[in-house]
A and B are shown apart, each in its own frame.
Chain A
């Protein structure tokens, strides 16, 4: 199956003379109702709760008091929000920097056929569906202080003298969760960037070869400029998918040591499920939602431009 582009799909309309106009609605109704109830409603409910004094008591009684913007004022005045925001930005920036660069390099590498190149692609994507709990657990073991493979390799290569207690110091704990997340994100980047590269017109490369361009020149003067819209889309999607990461951090560090790896999602979760302050937690959720919506709009703009779906 050739990889078909979204644009083509969205533009290719299959129109049947529908005997009655209601038929399509009958077909989409179940999924619309379900997603409305389990995705749409909760998001709206979250916004509502963010304006209420909502805690364990109200959870039981169901009668929450409307308190306007107080949750937002409380949360914006809380230094932990700033802390989580900074960590989120660090986590996202370094995760994407490496996931994307490595993913782009591998996509360019795998774009040409060579011995076993399809097997290699399979191997490099194999982590995509591995449950995040498993990834977290494996990396906890790899970064183990006394017997972990990482410390062994680093000490035997003389990069460090003493084994690092990865999860006991702020910077190394952050590095460990970022590295684990990079591993998790590489397949996603390879899949999308490979599809973009495969869709580039062949004849430009042939013309460049005739003109005597070498491989690197083709990458920098043809592939990257032509790939610009794919690259922007992958970066925006990467941002959206990385900013929301919760599992791997909760499993590996629970946001610790102290609050060294606390990101916005773990902070929101902690406010709800440990402090039972649902109102403030919802306010943090709304802030996350706002950031993600801006990113989603930018992504859709880069991907679809002014075209209609």
Chain B
């Protein structure tokens, strides 16, 4: 075998080894969720359940199963997460599109300062925000409303969203816009009808990123939403592990349902995320 071939196959082998190790947690989550109860506690552990069962998922989704019913209404958490994540996404779009457009198309005083602010803003720990926001929301009467978490989640996703979108806008040549202006379009019309359709990929990436940020967010929900009927899935899982310490199959089914949107979205949008992250972070 040639030297080159040895190198390529050893890279392949090492890569495969790394992938197997890395995927264990996610694999184990799905595998456990499909196991019949007696196989969960079996030694040596069963890698692939011999007769996969879906009762754990049925029970999480509130359907009737042979098992004792859960004293936790998991469906409500999904509904709340959907509400919070959808509104966060809408709000991020409304704020990020004009902001990113201005940062990509104009030269104005304060532009560099704003870019710098965005770079630093995405590094701020949620814990530093949660304490003053708690006090502020409490005083403004926003405590224990969806709006409190939607606002906080939007602030968390917005800096990165503007950075990704700006890179998308920068790839659209100016000449295109100029031509549309000559044809008599206003700036807003040109932005809406010409530019936005062209940066679809960037918009999708921003939308998915914002949605997932709100979907999995934990600290804000933990601190601003005391009522169970308003809490998102992150708190659902947290409560579940407190209440059902050893129901590992349902626990993992719940986790799988919460994680799936994130993993699937990432696999489809890998490129956008990767270029967005690198364009904002390293030289």
Contacts and interface: CB of A to CB of B under 8 A. Distances in A.
A148 B104 CA distance: 51
A303 B282 CA distance: 6
A32 B102 CA distance: 12
Contacts of A38: 129, 133, 151-152, 154-155
Contact of B155 (A24, A35, A114, A135): A35
A246 B125 contact: yes
Interface in B152-176: 152, 154-155, 158-159, 162, 166-167, 170, 174
Contacts of B71: none
A195 B278 contact: yes
- Interface range on chain B (Cβ under 8 Å from partner): 35 or more
Contacts of A15: 106-107
Contacts of A46: 128, 131-132
A25 interface: yes
B189 interface: no
B282 A6 contact: yes
Nearest to A24: B106
B283 A229 contact: yes
B133 A6 contact: no
A16 B106 contact: yes
A79 interface: no
B198 interface: no
Given A30-B99, A129-B266, A192-B281, A282 B216 contact: no
Contacts of B275: 1, 3-4
Contacts of A127: 22, 25-26
A152 B19 CA distance: 20
A74 interface: no
Interface stretch (A93-101, A137-145, A169-177): A137-145
Nearest first, the 8 A-B pairs at minimum CB distance are A131-B216, A244-B125, A27-B102, A31-B99, A24-B106, A42-B132, A38-B155, A309-B112
B187 A192 contact: no
Chain A interface mostly:
helix
Contacts of A109: 11, 14-15, 18
Given A10-B115, A109-B15, A139-B25, 10 more contacts: A3-B279, A21-B108, A28-B102, A38-B154, A109-B14, A132-B216, A132-B218, A243-B125, A247-B218, A251-B218
A304 B280 CA distance: 11
Contacts of B114: 28, 32
**Chain A: interface size category:** 35 or more
A42 B94 CA distance: 22
B112 A308 contact: yes
A27 to B, nearest CB: 4
Q: Is the interface of B mostly helix, strand, loop or mixed?
A: helix
Contacts of A289: 128
Interface stretch (A65-73, A200-208, A233-241): A233-241
Nearest to B187: A23
Nearest to B14: A109
A134 B237 contact: yes
B219 A246 contact: yes
Given A265-B127, A292-B123, A149 B282 contact: no
B84 interface: no
Interface of A: 1, 3-7, 9-10, 12-16, 18, 21, 23-25, 27-28, 30-32, 34-35, 38-39, 41-43, 45-46, 49, 54, 59, 62, 106, 109-110, 112, 114-117, 120, 122-135, 137-142, 144, 146-147, 149, 152, 156, 183, 186, 188, 191-192, 195-196, 215, 229-230, 233-234, 237, 240-241, 243-244, 246-247, 250-251, 265, 268-269, 272-273, 278, 281-282, 285, 288-289, 292, 296, 300, 303-304, 308-309
Interface in B237-283: 237-238, 241, 248, 251-252, 255, 258-259, 262-263, 265-267, 270-275, 277-283
B17 to A, nearest CB: 10
B34 interface: no
A34 B129 contact: no
Contacts of B95: 30-31, 34
A25 to B, nearest CB: 7
B26 A35 contact: no
B96 interface: yes
